[in-house]
Amino acid sequence: MFLYFVIPFNTFAIYYTAVCYHLRSMTKGFVKSINSSTYLNLDQVTQTYKVLNSLVAKIDRELSFLMFTTTLFNACTMYLGIKSLLRSSEFITIAQHISVWCLFTASYVSFIAMGTTASLVYEANANGLEKLKDAICNRFNLTRSQMRVLLIDPNNVSLTVWNIVPIRRSFIFGTMGAILTYCVLIESLEKAS
Protein backbone atom coordinates (compact mmCIF):
# COMPACT_ATOMS: atom_id res chain seq x y z
CA MET A 1 0.00 0.00 0.00
CA PHE A 2 2.92 2.32 0.69
CA LEU A 3 4.14 2.10 -2.90
CA TYR A 4 0.61 2.76 -4.16
CA PHE A 5 0.74 6.27 -2.67
CA VAL A 6 4.40 7.17 -2.98
CA ILE A 7 5.30 6.20 -6.55
CA PRO A 8 2.74 8.38 -8.42
CA PHE A 9 3.36 11.29 -6.08
CA ASN A 10 7.13 11.10 -6.42
CA THR A 11 6.83 10.79 -10.20
CA PHE A 12 5.16 14.20 -10.36
CA ALA A 13 7.64 15.61 -7.84
CA ILE A 14 10.58 14.46 -9.96
CA TYR A 15 8.95 15.86 -13.11
CA TYR A 16 8.17 19.22 -11.47
CA THR A 17 11.66 19.48 -10.02
CA ALA A 18 13.24 18.68 -13.40
CA VAL A 19 11.06 21.25 -15.20
CA CYS A 20 11.96 23.91 -12.63
CA TYR A 21 15.64 23.01 -12.90
CA HIS A 22 15.54 23.43 -16.69
CA LEU A 23 13.68 26.74 -16.43
CA ARG A 24 16.30 27.98 -14.00
CA SER A 25 19.13 26.78 -16.26
CA MET A 26 17.62 28.57 -19.25
CA THR A 27 17.26 31.78 -17.25
CA LYS A 28 20.80 31.54 -15.90
CA GLY A 29 22.03 31.05 -19.48
CA PHE A 30 20.14 34.19 -20.45
CA VAL A 31 21.81 36.15 -17.64
CA LYS A 32 25.21 34.74 -18.60
CA SER A 33 24.71 35.87 -22.21
CA ILE A 34 23.86 39.39 -21.01
CA ASN A 35 26.92 39.51 -18.76
CA SER A 36 29.38 38.10 -21.31
CA SER A 37 28.34 40.17 -24.31
CA THR A 38 30.07 43.50 -24.91
CA TYR A 39 27.51 44.65 -27.46
CA LEU A 40 23.91 43.68 -26.85
CA ASN A 41 21.19 43.61 -29.44
CA LEU A 42 18.56 44.88 -27.03
CA ASP A 43 15.65 43.98 -29.27
CA GLN A 44 16.79 40.37 -29.44
CA VAL A 45 17.55 40.21 -25.70
CA THR A 46 14.18 41.75 -24.87
CA GLN A 47 12.43 39.24 -27.12
CA THR A 48 14.35 36.36 -25.49
CA TYR A 49 13.26 37.55 -22.06
CA LYS A 50 9.65 37.75 -23.19
CA VAL A 51 9.84 34.18 -24.49
CA LEU A 52 11.31 32.97 -21.17
CA ASN A 53 8.65 34.88 -19.26
CA SER A 54 5.84 33.41 -21.35
CA LEU A 55 7.33 29.92 -20.96
CA VAL A 56 7.29 30.26 -17.16
CA ALA A 57 3.70 31.54 -17.32
CA LYS A 58 2.61 28.65 -19.55
CA ILE A 59 4.24 26.02 -17.35
CA ASP A 60 2.67 27.65 -14.32
CA ARG A 61 -0.79 27.50 -15.92
CA GLU A 62 -0.31 23.80 -16.64
CA LEU A 63 1.23 22.68 -13.34
CA SER A 64 -0.05 25.05 -10.65
CA PHE A 65 -3.18 23.01 -9.90
CA LEU A 66 -1.09 19.86 -9.55
CA MET A 67 1.17 21.73 -7.14
CA PHE A 68 -1.98 22.62 -5.17
CA THR A 69 -3.03 18.96 -4.99
CA THR A 70 0.50 18.06 -3.92
CA THR A 71 0.21 20.57 -1.07
CA LEU A 72 -3.09 18.97 -0.02
CA PHE A 73 -1.50 15.52 -0.16
CA ASN A 74 1.30 16.77 2.09
CA ALA A 75 -1.26 18.13 4.54
CA CYS A 76 -2.83 14.67 4.73
CA THR A 77 0.51 12.93 5.26
CA MET A 78 1.42 15.51 7.92
CA TYR A 79 -1.87 14.83 9.71
CA LEU A 80 -1.28 11.09 9.51
CA GLY A 81 2.25 11.53 10.88
CA ILE A 82 1.05 13.74 13.75
CA LYS A 83 -1.71 11.27 14.54
CA SER A 84 0.82 8.43 14.54
CA LEU A 85 2.99 10.39 16.94
CA LEU A 86 0.29 11.62 19.34
CA ARG A 87 -2.01 8.58 19.24
CA SER A 88 0.43 5.74 18.85
CA SER A 89 -1.96 3.34 20.58
CA GLU A 90 -4.27 3.47 17.54
CA PHE A 91 -1.51 2.05 15.33
CA ILE A 92 -1.33 -1.61 16.26
CA THR A 93 1.92 -2.76 14.68
CA ILE A 94 5.33 -1.18 14.30
CA ALA A 95 4.99 -1.72 10.54
CA GLN A 96 2.13 0.78 10.48
CA HIS A 97 4.29 3.37 12.22
CA ILE A 98 7.17 2.73 9.85
CA SER A 99 4.99 2.98 6.74
CA VAL A 100 3.40 6.23 7.96
CA TRP A 101 6.78 7.81 8.68
CA CYS A 102 8.27 6.56 5.40
CA LEU A 103 5.32 8.13 3.56
CA PHE A 104 5.73 11.33 5.57
CA THR A 105 9.47 11.50 4.89
CA ALA A 106 9.19 10.73 1.18
CA SER A 107 6.40 13.22 0.62
CA TYR A 108 8.07 16.06 2.50
CA VAL A 109 11.50 15.55 0.98
CA SER A 110 9.94 15.72 -2.47
CA PHE A 111 7.77 18.70 -1.47
CA ILE A 112 10.82 20.59 -0.22
CA ALA A 113 12.68 19.77 -3.45
CA MET A 114 9.73 21.02 -5.52
CA GLY A 115 9.40 24.23 -3.51
CA THR A 116 13.13 24.90 -3.55
CA THR A 117 13.54 24.51 -7.30
CA ALA A 118 10.41 26.59 -7.96
CA SER A 119 11.76 29.38 -5.74
CA LEU A 120 15.09 29.21 -7.58
CA VAL A 121 13.20 29.82 -10.83
CA TYR A 122 11.78 33.00 -9.33
CA GLU A 123 15.20 34.14 -8.10
CA ALA A 124 16.85 33.47 -11.48
CA ASN A 125 14.06 35.35 -13.28
CA ALA A 126 14.34 38.31 -10.92
CA ASN A 127 18.10 38.38 -11.47
CA GLY A 128 17.65 38.16 -15.26
CA LEU A 129 15.11 40.97 -15.23
CA GLU A 130 17.43 43.12 -13.13
CA LYS A 131 20.33 42.57 -15.57
CA LEU A 132 18.07 43.33 -18.53
CA LYS A 133 16.80 46.52 -16.91
CA ASP A 134 20.39 47.59 -16.23
CA ALA A 135 21.30 47.00 -19.89
CA ILE A 136 18.24 48.92 -21.09
CA CYS A 137 18.85 51.85 -18.75
CA ASN A 138 22.27 52.41 -20.34
CA ARG A 139 20.62 53.19 -23.70
CA PHE A 140 19.05 56.43 -24.86
CA ASN A 141 16.70 55.45 -27.68
CA LEU A 142 14.27 52.96 -26.23
CA THR A 143 11.60 51.13 -28.15
CA ARG A 144 8.14 50.56 -26.78
CA SER A 145 8.86 46.93 -25.83
CA GLN A 146 12.04 47.96 -24.01
CA MET A 147 10.08 50.56 -22.05
CA ARG A 148 7.57 47.86 -21.08
CA VAL A 149 10.39 45.71 -19.73
CA LEU A 150 11.38 48.56 -17.43
CA LEU A 151 7.86 48.47 -15.96
CA ILE A 152 7.73 44.70 -15.33
CA ASP A 153 7.44 43.79 -11.68
CA PRO A 154 9.80 40.89 -10.84
CA ASN A 155 7.20 39.51 -8.42
CA ASN A 156 4.96 38.56 -11.34
CA VAL A 157 7.48 36.10 -12.77
CA SER A 158 7.19 33.12 -10.46
CA LEU A 159 5.56 29.73 -10.29
CA THR A 160 2.45 29.52 -8.12
CA VAL A 161 0.23 27.11 -6.25
CA TRP A 162 -3.00 27.16 -8.29
CA ASN A 163 -2.40 30.83 -9.15
CA ILE A 164 -3.01 31.71 -5.49
CA VAL A 165 0.36 31.78 -3.75
CA PRO A 166 3.71 32.47 -5.45
CA ILE A 167 6.39 29.93 -4.58
CA ARG A 168 9.31 31.67 -2.90
CA ARG A 169 11.75 30.54 -0.23
CA SER A 170 9.35 31.49 2.53
CA PHE A 171 6.60 29.37 0.95
CA ILE A 172 8.12 26.07 2.07
CA PHE A 173 8.52 26.97 5.72
CA GLY A 174 5.31 28.96 5.89
CA THR A 175 3.26 26.15 4.39
CA MET A 176 4.84 23.46 6.55
CA GLY A 177 4.38 25.57 9.69
CA ALA A 178 0.74 26.34 8.93
CA ILE A 179 -0.05 22.71 8.11
CA LEU A 180 1.70 21.49 11.26
CA THR A 181 -0.22 24.00 13.39
CA TYR A 182 -3.57 22.98 11.94
CA CYS A 183 -2.76 19.27 12.26
CA VAL A 184 -1.93 19.64 15.95
CA LEU A 185 -5.05 21.79 16.45
CA ILE A 186 -7.34 19.27 14.74
CA GLU A 187 -5.73 16.39 16.62
CA SER A 188 -6.21 18.15 19.96
CA LEU A 189 -9.85 18.88 19.08
CA GLU A 190 -10.40 15.21 18.24
CA LYS A 191 -8.75 14.17 21.49
CA ALA A 192 -10.99 16.54 23.48
CA SER A 193 -14.21 15.18 21.99
Residues 16-41 have pLDDT tens digits of 999 999 999 999 999 999 988 777 88
Band of pLDDT at residue 88, cut at 50, 70 and 90:
confident
- Residue 33 in contact with residue 127, Cβ under 8 Å? no
pTM here is: 0.89
pLDDT for 140: 76
Average pLDDT of the residues in 133-149: 83
pLDDT for 50: 92
Band of pLDDT at residue 2, cut at 50, 70 and 90:
low
* Angstrom distance (rounded) from CA 127 to CA 188: 45
> Is 90 exceeded by the pLDDT of residue 135?
no
Band of pLDDT at residue 1, cut at 50, 70 and 90:
low
User: Hey, what amino acid is at 15?
Assistant: Y
Cα torsion 101, 8, 17, 56 to 10°: value is -130
Sign of CA dihedral 144, 148, 149, 151: positive
Percentage of the chain exceeding pLDDT 90: 60
Q: What pLDDT digit, counting tens, does each position of 43-71 carry? A: 899 999 999 999 999 999 999 999 999 99
- Other beta carbons within 10 Å of 71: 19
- Rounded to the nearest integer, the mean pLDDT of the chain is 89
pLDDT for 139: 78
Average pLDDT of the residues in 133-148: 83
pLDDT for 23: 97
Question: How big is the chain, counted in residues?
Answer: 193
pLDDT for 148: 84
